[in-house]
Amino acid sequence: MGTKRVSVGSIGSYFESLPDPRGTRNRKHLLVDIIVIAVCGVVCGCDGPTALHRGATNRREGRTSLLKWPQGRPSKDGIRRVLIALTPEAFQARFRDRRARAVRTDDGAPARRVAIDGKTCRGSHDQAHGLGPLHLVSAWATEDGIALGPVATDEKSNEIAAIPQLVKPIELTDTVVTIDAMGCQKEIADRIVGDGGEFVIAVKDNQPKLLDAITAFVVDHLERDLRALKYRSHETTDAGHGRVDERSDFLTPVPPDFGPGAEWPWVKAIGYAVRITTRADGTQTDDVRYYIASRYLSGKRFAQAVRSHWAIESMHGVLDVTFREDDTRTRERTLGNNLSGLRRFAVSMLKRHTITDSIRGQMLRCLMNTEFLTEVLTLQ
């Protein structure tokens, strides 16, 4: 992944066009300064307005190169009010401005992959006001290591409505979008293809007719050892962590007599992925998953799409383990949404640094070393 640096002064420029939601009366601090405080603080591990204020108050080294602060440092309440007043969609659109552009491979297939998945902030529920935990649907550009979301919902079941909102502002040309079974919906497939993208979507019990048709087709041809089947495949064997994983991925064009084909005109190929895991004690487990695709990809491209979807699961793991997002008690929805967007932006920036260190290690370096923080902020 190629990276380049931008000037320190350009960090705030990403947010200069963001409309200031505050009234002009008693406006003491520049909006850009408060946002840069938030970005710097979250990269260092701050989890809310109080911690952001503490970080801004105690970091004196390098302050003048990043911030103007004509009226001194903003209070924690001032930071909180701004993060509540900012419209999440407009705020997070500025993060997307840093994403890399899509490219095509030599064989003409889309090279860029965007994974979409949901995550619940379990500590954000507010029973006194009848609010369940905040659920966020995020997009992750797996090739570029860039977060492109999230969109907030009040319940996991609302992912179906949130995915089209999330996809709408993303440039999908020459991009393969991967989604788990929750997003296996006709409206979502139509939106992705209509916006110039391709998709690889998991199929499970929430689409029983589609799943039964794919399962029956695959089982029938497996019983005949795939002799009459046109297909593309890719196989790998990986060893580590006390186990051996054997993976086989198969993709075949939609057959002419495919029952759900009329209802799913965007589907051009169906596939399945098998993983057999052998542990050190000799025990074996297997997992089979089925997929629909809008393009008859090569076996390797299909396998990459299937496996790269786990990149967003990895990001969710970082958010929970390193940023402790599940433990956050932020109940105010807009504040929680904007802080979640900042955390995903922070993961993107930290992952792009070439130093050999964990995300947690990089966050500690940012906290203790302004020069390293500057490097993280200026990578593009």
User: Do 145 and 284 reside in the same domain of the chain?
Assistant: yes
Residue-wise pLDDT for 83-141, tens only, equals 999 988 888 777 766 554 434 444 555 568 899 988 877 666 666 666 667 778 888 88
Structure confidence at residue 108 (pLDDT): 55
What phi, psi does 138 have (nearest 5°)? -120, 155
Q: What CATH code is carried by the domain that includes residue 309?
A: 3.90.350.10
Structure confidence at residue 211 (pLDDT): 96
Residue-wise pLDDT for 232-251, tens only, equals 999 999 888 789 999 999 99
User: Do 139 and 31 reside in the same domain of the chain?
Assistant: no
Contact 43, 51 (CB under 8 A): no
pTM: 0.79
Residue 42, SS3 per DSSP:
helix
User: Do 25 and 127 reside in the same domain of the chain?
Assistant: no
User: Do 124 and 95 reside in the same domain of the chain?
Assistant: no
Q: Looking at the predicted structure, is the pLDDT value of residue 262 above 80?
A: yes
Helix (H) or strand (E) segment spanning residue 247: strand 243-253
284-293 vs 198-203, strand pairing mode? antiparallel
Give the pLDDT mean for 366-380. 85
Give the pLDDT mean for 2-25. 69
Structure confidence at residue 103 (pLDDT): 41
User: Do 293 and 260 reside in the same domain of the chain?
Assistant: yes
Residue-wise pLDDT for 293-341, tens only, equals 999 999 999 999 998 887 787 888 888 889 888 777 777 888 888 998 8
User: Do 71 and 178 reside in the same domain of the chain?
Assistant: no
User: Do 126 and 42 reside in the same domain of the chain?
Assistant: no
Q: What is the mean pLDDT of the chain?
A: 83
Q: How far apart are CA 151 and CA 126, in angstroms?
A: 19
Domain membership of residue 234 as a residue range? 112-314
Query: Number of folded domains in the chain?
Result: 2
User: Do 164 and 252 reside in the same domain of the chain?
Assistant: yes
Structure confidence at residue 210 (pLDDT): 96
- pLDDT interval class at 225 (50, 70, 90): confident
User: Do 87 and 122 reside in the same domain of the chain?
Assistant: no
User: Do 294 and 343 reside in the same domain of the chain?
Assistant: no
User: Do 152 and 247 reside in the same domain of the chain?
Assistant: yes
Q: Looking at the predicted structure, is the pLDDT value of residue 28 above 90?
A: no
User: Do 243 and 172 reside in the same domain of the chain?
Assistant: yes
Structure confidence at residue 49 (pLDDT): 93
Give the pLDDT mean for 55-60. 79
Contact 159, 183 (CB under 8 A): yes
Structure confidence at residue 107 (pLDDT): 52
